[in-house]
Amino acid sequence: MKRTLCTDKMLGEYTYAVTDNGLKVYVMEKAGFSSAYAIFGTRYGSIDTKFSKNGGKTVEVPAGIAHFLEHKLFESEEGDTFQRFAKTGAYCNAYTSFDRTCYLFSCSSNFEENFAILLDFVQSPYFTAETVEKEQGIIAQEIKMYEDSPGWRVLFNMLCAMYENHPVKIDIAGTVDSIAKIDHNLLYECYNTFYNPNNMYICVAGNIDTDKVLCQIEKNLKPTPPVEIDRFSFPESREVLSGYTEQSLEVAKPLFCFGYKEVFDGRDPTIKEKTVAGLLLEILCGDCSELYRKLLDDGLIGDEFSAEYFQGHGYSSFIIEGESDDPVKVSEEIKAEVARLIKEGIDPRLLNAVKRSAYGDAVKNFDSTEGIVRDMVECAISGGDLFDTVEILREITDEDIIERLKALDEKASVLSVISPKKKG
């Protein structure tokens, strides 16, 4: 196992290691902390529906299989994994997103015992025709629940209007029809492809000993030959399919999701580009922005107003969402503010305030084991160093923000609205 010690005078140090079969490991000791947090994850999410392994034939699988596999991995011949963690007093969970699946636990004691459970069950798939059929019914109910969730539908309706080819527009859990096509053989094929150490990572932070963590990994990591995965690309133009989409559901007030589509011509955004995007959204519509105050004063938005830079492999967009009696007016105000900032420039005081706030948040994040580990996961997915964001924040200029603002093309925007159902 090759080790590298990464240091920062202010933030401390962590160890980055790579095993002989390609597993990435990030470990940060936090002396004095009362707990530890660990993730064992894979670069495998809902968008990985078409791929090939080791230069072989192209495989296409049903939507939702990554999420389905996550559910099934908690079952084993030894019983339910949640019960194993419960006996040690640890909290455990898992999640699947568009580009990753992560299995995690946090504990204040018995770290080595809990870590052993994590290493064991993630490397021990157990799928049968009977258990898969049972799970199909459970996940079908989950999918139907999300079909009626206004907050979920407003996002995916926007993505469906924004993307023509990319599977990011498909629900992470898939559809009732797609999961009906999943069987135990497909699960094993996807597991053996994406749950290979060469495609995985382990991230740990807290009251742990780095040498012991690395030793435990070396002793418990199964000797699996590296797999090379070719991920299918889904080319997208800058154009959107529709600039407006609306659906009626049981809501008291209209919900909206307004987004600008972004295309990077075959590459994904860099760490600096992601950091600039976050600052841009704060300057455009954060709590200290002119737009936010105007929308609030005019009664166009309420407390449920937020923005995020939404990106992953092959997709990227700026998203602003909330509640409003007039979502169209909100979207028009956003477009007008983008044009104003490009024309007039950014108030240096606002930029400095936003940068200081972001810098403070980035530094404060190192006081949280969960925050550290989640940043480690980002490093494992996208590359880069755990300390990169803090360093980049020191260097960003208003020109960087303006150049990114110019990419917010009105023709590449989508407004998604969930409106109240009409009575009667």
3-state secondary structure 89-118: CCEEEEEECCCCEEEEEEECCCHHHHHHHH
Q: Which tokens sit at 228?
A: 């090379």
Q: What does the block give as tokens for 408? A: 């917010």
What are the φ and ψ backbone dihedral angles of 309, each rounded to 5 degrees?
-95, 115
Quickly state the pLDDT bin for 267 (edges 50, 70, 90): confident
Res. 410: pLDDT tops 70: yes
Q: Which two tokens stand for residue 422?
A: 């009409």
424: pLDDT confidence band, cut at 50, 70 and 90?
Answer: low
Residue 370, pLDDT score: 96
Instruction: List own/partner pairs for 137-145 with CB under 8 A and 24 or more apart.
Output: 138/71, 139/64, 139/67, 139/68, 139/71, 139/173, 139/174, 139/179, 140/176, 140/179, 140/180, 142/173, 143/64, 143/171, 143/173, 143/174, 143/175, 143/176, 143/179, 144/176
Q: CA–CA separation, 108 vs 206, rounded Å? A: 9
Assess whether pLDDT exceeds 80 at residue 51: yes
- Lowest average pLDDT, out of 12-26, 237-251, 391-405, goes to 391-405
Residue 305 has pLDDT above 90, yes or no: yes
Q: How confident is the model at residue 65 (pLDDT cuts 50, 70, 90)?
A: very high
What DSSP character marks residue 196?
Answer: S
Q: Are strands 91-96 and 101-107 parallel, antiparallel or unpaired?
A: antiparallel
Q: How confident is the model at residue 109 (pLDDT cuts 50, 70, 90)?
A: very high
**pLDDT of 265 higher than 80:** no
pLDDT higher than threshold 80 for residue 79: no
Three-class SS of residue 170? coil
Q: At what angle do helices 398-405 and 327-344 cross, to 10 degrees?
A: 130
Per-residue pLDDT, averaged over 102-116, amounts to: 96
31: exposed, middle or buried (Cβ count in 10 Å: 0-12, 13-18, 19+) = exposed
Instruction: Say if residues 43 and 194 touch (Cβ distance below 8 Å).
Output: yes
Q: What is the pLDDT of residue 268?
A: 82
Structure confidence by residue, pLDDT tens digits, 340-399: 999 999 999 999 999 999 999 999 999 999 999 999 999 999 888 999 999 899 888 889
Mean pLDDT of 25-29: 98
Give, as one character, the DSSP assignment of residue 239.
-
Q: Are the beta carbons of 270 and 170 closer than 8 angstroms?
A: no
Residue 70 appears among annotated catalytic residues: yes
Q: Look at residue 139 and tell me whether its pLDDT is greater than 80.
A: yes
Structure tokens given for 20: 């002989």
- Give SS3 for 124: coil
**Look-up: residue for tokens 């989409």?**
245
The stretch 13-35 carries a mean pLDDT of: 95
Q: Is pLDDT above 90 for 303?
A: no
Q: Which of 70, 135, 236, 333 is catalytic?
A: 70
| Dist. CA 285–CA 305, nearest whole Å | 9
d(CA 379, CA 26): 9
Sign of CA dihedral 144, 149, 151, 156: positive
pLDDT at 101: 98
User: Residue 246's pLDDT is what?
Assistant: 97
* Banded pLDDT at 146 (limits 50, 70, 90): confident
Q: What is the pLDDT of residue 77?
A: 72
Residue 398's nearest CA partner among 357, 362, 360, 354 is: 354
Report how far apart, in Å, the C-alpha atoms of 313 and of each of 110, 111, 117, 388 are: 37, 33, 30, 20
pLDDT over 70 at 118, yes or no? yes
Place of tokens 């976050």: 278
Give yes or no for residue 187 having a pLDDT over 70.
yes
Distance (Å, rounded) from C-alpha 173 to C-alpha 184? 17
* Residues sharing a CB contact under 8 Å with residue 180, sequence separation 6 or more, in sequence order: 136, 140
| Structure confidence at residue 283 (pLDDT) | 95
With H, G, I as helix, E, B as strand and everything else as coil, classify residue 125: coil
What pLDDT does 407 receive? 86
User: Does residue 135 carry a pLDDT above 80?
Assistant: yes
Once rounded to an integer, what is the mean pLDDT over residues 126-148? 90
